[in-house]
Amino acid sequence: MNNKKQIFINILKEQSQIIILIIFVVVFSIISPDFRTAGNFINLLKQVTVIGVISCGLTMVVITGCLDLSVGSVFSMLGLIAILCQQHSNLLGIAVPLAIAVAVGLFNGFIVTKYNVNSIIATLGSLSLFSGIALLITNGAIISGRTRTWYGIIGRGKMLEIPNHVFVLFLVAIIFHIILSRTSFGRKAKYVGTNRAAAQIAGIKTKKIRTIAFVISSLSVAIAVLIYTSRMTPASPIMGVGFEFDAVTAVVIGGTSLAGGKGSIFRTIIGVLLLATIINVLTLYNFPFAFQSIIKGMLIITAIVIDVRARKK
């Protein structure tokens, strides 16, 4: 009996995020007729695609024991670049942001690993740097790309009545899950996050692993930009403000440890959906926007406290 009880407790601990999500969905569906409509569920999925893709990439960085706070400003910068390039060529609108994203990831990874700078401090500097570049690109103006081109298929097209960009999110999640759980890079990333010194002694190139993680994070931002700009043509230098906090919140409440070494893409997606569900209900009931920040703050503090206590046991 004790063994069965322990197994049940372990299941509750390991699957706590998805259990909480199911409870929230059931409760909100009961108390709010507007919440349980098919249209609202589709709308909820549409809302999470951008943050979901960014969060998947950020998970890679966090698992190595680092943090990338520049994702929001990189999103703004790449969004403007994507629109400017798309005005000339759709292919350029896709290729250039992806190429620059690789350069951004290498830059962040180089600063963190070459000079052994704390990733929070390094990417905080990058946040300011890329925010400034975004403002310089258009002198603070809002710009628009071309409409009625195949570029909009990602963001505006549908398949089986489900927006294409929702499928993009789940495709990215599946690919990143495979990278994290089925490849040597994923295993090494977890080793590096668990104990960097021991990983280095074991022959793992810790600097290379962390740099690749930063590149993956930046590439995920570029993919999110393509989704966003194909849905909403106007782009502004501040359109990514706050995305870094939303992504970190989703990653942490999804169970990925900020200390590194522990986490999964699947749980990150659950964290994204859990956060979006709460925000969706607050919106349906016309709660002031300030409540969203309060809830996000409470969620991330609670998740961090739980993580710290779990690591001490």
Residues pairing with 162 in the sheet: 159
Q: Which of the two residues, 14 and 107, has the higher pLDDT score? A: 107
In a domain, 190, yes or no: yes
Dihedral, CA atoms, 236, 248, 200, 312, nearest 10 degrees?
A: 170
pLDDT of the residue at 247:
95
pLDDT tens, residue by residue, 28-40: 889 888 888 888 8
**Whole-angstrom distance between the N-terminal and C-terminal Cα of the chain?**
24
In a domain, 304, yes or no: yes
Where does the pLDDT of residue 290 fall: very low under 50, low under 70, confident under 90, or very high at 90 and above? confident
- What pLDDT was estimated at residue 286? 84
Residue 254: φ, ψ to 5°: -80, -5
The proportion of the chain whose per-residue pLDDT surpasses 90, expressed as a percent, equals 59
Q: CA 225, 229, 234: angle at the middle one, nearest 5? A: 130
Per the model's pLDDT, the better-predicted residue between 10 and 51 turns out to be 51
| pLDDT at residue 225 greater than cutoff 90 | yes
The one-letter amino acid at 299:
L
Q: Within 10 A of 140 (CB to CB), how many other CB atoms are there? A: 11
Is the pLDDT confidence value at 8 over 90?
A: no
Percent of the chain beyond pLDDT 70?
93
Read off the pTM: 0.93
Mean pLDDT is lowest, of 90-104, 123-137, 289-303, for 289-303
Q: 285: domain range?
A: 17-27+40-308
pLDDT digits (tens, 9 = 90+) for 196-223: 999 999 999 999 999 999 999 999 999 9
| Number of domain units in the chain | 1
For residue 69 the two structure tokens come to 């706070």
- Residues in contact with 77: Cβ distance below 8 Å, sequence separation at least 6, in sequence order: 100, 130, 131, 133, 134, 137
d(CA 313, CA 30) in angstroms, rounded, equals 38
| pLDDT score of 276 more than 60 | yes
Residue of 285 and 193 predicted with greater confidence: 193
Q: For 19-28, 60-69, 123-132, 166-175, which range has the lowest pLDDT when averaged over its residues?
A: 19-28
pLDDT at 147 over 70: no
Tokens of 78: 């790449």
Evaluate whether residue 164 is within a structural domain: yes
pLDDT of residue 146: 75
CATH code at 257? 1.10.3470
Q: Does residue 2 form part of some domain?
A: no
Q: Could you tell me the pLDDT band of residue 5, with boundaries at 50, 70 and 90?
A: low
Confidence at residue 111, expressed as pLDDT on a 0 to 100 scale:
97
Confidence of residue 12 (pLDDT cuts 50, 70, 90): low
Contact indicator for 176, 265 with CB cutoff of 8 Å: yes
pLDDT of 53: 97
The pLDDT assigned to 176 comes to 97
Better-scored residue on pLDDT, 128 or 286: 128
Summarised one tens digit per residue, pLDDT across range 92-124 is 999 999 999 999 999 999 999 999 999 999 999
**Average pLDDT in the chain:** 89
Q: Are 72 and 243 in contact (CB under 8 A)?
A: yes
